[in-house]
């Protein structure tokens, strides 16, 4: 794709209809929120979420914020108890993200939460993102719409400069009002913990653990409890082999060697291996190109001695 292949359409019914069509087809689309421009994809579709990582060229998988229309849509995917309800009532729609326990059986792709049992959710205040959520009728995973390592975009032309040619559409809603990422608060037991300061001030000090839950840090991120061996071409004694391409294994990330499919399947395959009766996990070699870099990063972290 060259930069000309990225359409820019001013926010309005035509832009939202086209964005909703692309998202239903599994593509990521840049759309303004009141904080920064987000790169939105269907949070229930693993390959669509993998395309966010592919477009951003992000070398690692961090959990993404899921955007919903309101508290009742949030309650369909997360345990939304009194503290969460009160904060949502006061601050939604708006730039407050709540990290909540993921509801069992919620139809959220495991790549969205990076395999964690918690999920970060907010209801955005920008009419363009709200209209898109209404049109799609599904929760949307949306990190900032910039290439990995670049600053967050507050105008359509920032998105174009960073992701032009890598995404099909930018919905242009003019400059964003806040230009600062949302406040993130974890409500996962005990008192609320501030994980990222932002536009909503709840009078909380930044939690120490905020550090470990920040992008790229291992900390609480999902890692299997069994030893994991990389670059395996066959299973050793009492190992569950996760295959890829020509290495079949007990299960496979992608029989055809497709990295997008492998990224979408990664956390499910790891959970499945962990739940097996084998005492160890082995994973076939994954190429280091494209999404393979993020897959290998996650596998190396999971294999690191703890
Ligand atoms: P972004 O979507 O780029 O604004 O970044 C999302 C932020 O939310 C990152 O700092 C993540 O580490 C954080 N986050 C998302 N989900 C979770 C979660 N389940 N637990 C803790 N932090 C989370
Ligand atoms: Mg970002």
CATH number of the domain residue 179 falls in: 3.90.870.10
Same domain, 130 and 252: no
Percent of the chain at pLDDT exceeding 70:
94
Q: Is 218 left (phi over 0), alpha (psi -120 to 50) or beta?
A: alpha
Same domain, 171 and 232: no
Residue 84 or residue 213, greater confidence = 84
d(CA 245, CA 104): 31
Distance 210 CA to ligand 1 centre (A): 10
Structure tokens given for 112:
């969205």
Say if 143 falls within a structural domain: yes
Answer with the one of 196, 220, 251 that is the final residue of a domain. Answer: 196
For 141-160, what is each residue's pLDDT tens digit? 999 999 998 889 999 999 99
Same domain, 148 and 264: no
Q: Mean of the per-residue pLDDT values for the chain? A: 92
**H or E element that contains 268:** helix 259-275
Out of 65, 67, 108, 214, mutate this one to test ligand 1's pocket (max ligand atoms within 8 Å of CB): namely: 65
Closest approach atom of ligand 1 to CA 144: 3
- pTM value is 0.90
- The band of 207, judged by pLDDT with boundaries at 50, 70 and 90, is confident
Same domain, 284 and 154: no
Same domain, 172 and 83: yes
Say if 202 falls within a structural domain: no
Q: Give residues (CB < 6 A) around ligand 1.
A: 62-65, 99, 113, 116, 118-120, 143-144, 181, 184, 195-196, 213-215
Answer with the one of 178, 196, 214 that is the final residue of a domain. Answer: 196
Q: Is the pLDDT of residue 299 over 50?
A: yes
- The band of 306, judged by pLDDT with boundaries at 50, 70 and 90, is low
Residue nearest to atom 2 of ligand 1 (CA): 143
Say if 182 falls within a structural domain: yes
Structure tokens given for 143:
């990190």
Say if 223 falls within a structural domain: no
Give the number of the ligand closest to the Cα of residue 182.
Answer: 1
Distance 271 CA to ligand 2 centre (A): 27
Q: Which domain holds residue 294?
A: 228-303
For 12-61, what is each residue's pLDDT tens digit? 999 999 999 999 999 999 999 999 999 999 999 999 999 999 999 988 89
Give the number of the ligand closest to the Cα of residue 142.
Answer: 1
CA-nearest of 179, 181, 219, 211 to 195 is 211
Distance 145 CA to ligand 2 centre (A): 7
Distance 123 CA to ligand 1 centre (A): 15
Percent of the chain at pLDDT exceeding 90:
82
Distance 214 CA to ligand 1 centre (A): 7
Domain count of the fold of the chain: 2
Say if 273 falls within a structural domain: yes
Q: What is the pLDDT of residue 218?
A: 39
Q: Of the given ranges (199-213, 232-246, 273-287), which has the lowest mean pLDDT?
A: 199-213
Same domain, 88 and 157: yes
Q: What is the pLDDT of residue 302?
A: 87
Same domain, 34 and 163: yes
Q: Is the pLDDT of residue 192 over 90?
A: yes
Q: What is the pLDDT of residue 36?
A: 96
Q: Is the pLDDT of residue 220 over 60?
A: no
Same domain, 186 and 261: no
**Residue range 200-228: average pLDDT?**
67
**Residue range 193-214: average pLDDT?**
77
Q: Are 28 and 58 in contact (CB under 8 A)?
A: no
Out of 63, 78, 298, mutate this one to test ligand 1's pocket (max ligand atoms within 8 Å of CB): namely: 63
Say if 7 falls within a structural domain: yes
Distance 144 CA to ligand 2 centre (A): 4
- The band of 1, judged by pLDDT with boundaries at 50, 70 and 90, is low
Sheet holding 140-141, edge to edge: 7-10, 169-172, 29-32, 37-42, 140-141, 65-67, 118-122, 96-101, 183-186, 193-196
């Amino acid at each position: 794709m060259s930069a000309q292949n990225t359409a820019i359409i001013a926010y309005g019914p035509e832009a939202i209809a086209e964005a909703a069509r692309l998202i239903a087809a599994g593509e990521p689309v840049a759309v303004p929120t009141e904080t920064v421009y987000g790169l939105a994809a269907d949070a229930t579709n693993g390959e669509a979420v993998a395309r966010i990582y592919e477009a951003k060229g992000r070398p690692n998988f961090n959990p993404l914020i899921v955007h919903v229309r309101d508290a009742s849509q949030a309650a369909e995917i997360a345990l939304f108890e009194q503290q969460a309800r009160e904060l949502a009532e006061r601050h939604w729609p708006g730039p407050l993200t709540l990290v909540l326990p993921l509801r069992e059986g919620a139809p959220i792709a495991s790549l969205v939460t990076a395999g964690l049992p918690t999920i970060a959710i907010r209801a955005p205040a920008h009419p363009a993102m709200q209209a898109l959520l209404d049109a799609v009728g599904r929760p949307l995973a949306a990190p900032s719409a910039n290439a990995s390592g670049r600053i967050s975009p507050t105008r359509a032309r920032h998105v174009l400069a960073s992701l032009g040619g890598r995404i099909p559409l930018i919905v242009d809603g003019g400059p964003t009002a806040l230009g600062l990422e949302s406040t993130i608060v974890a409500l996962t037991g005990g008192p609320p913990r501030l994980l990222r300061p932002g536009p909503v001030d709840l009078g909380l000090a930044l939690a120490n653990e905020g550090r470990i839950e920040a992008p790229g840090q291992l900390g609480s991120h999902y890692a299997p409890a069994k030893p994991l061996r990389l670059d395996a071409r066959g299973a050793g004694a009492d190992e569950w082999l996760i295959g890829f391409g020509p290495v079949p294994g007990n299960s496979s990330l992608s029989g055809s060697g497709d990295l997008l499919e492998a990224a979408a399947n990664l956390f499910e395959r790891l959970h499945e291996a962990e739940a097996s009766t084998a005492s160890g996990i082995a994973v076939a070699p994954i190429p280091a190109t494209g999404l393979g870099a993020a897959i290998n990063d996650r596998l190396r972290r999971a294999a690191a001695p703890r």
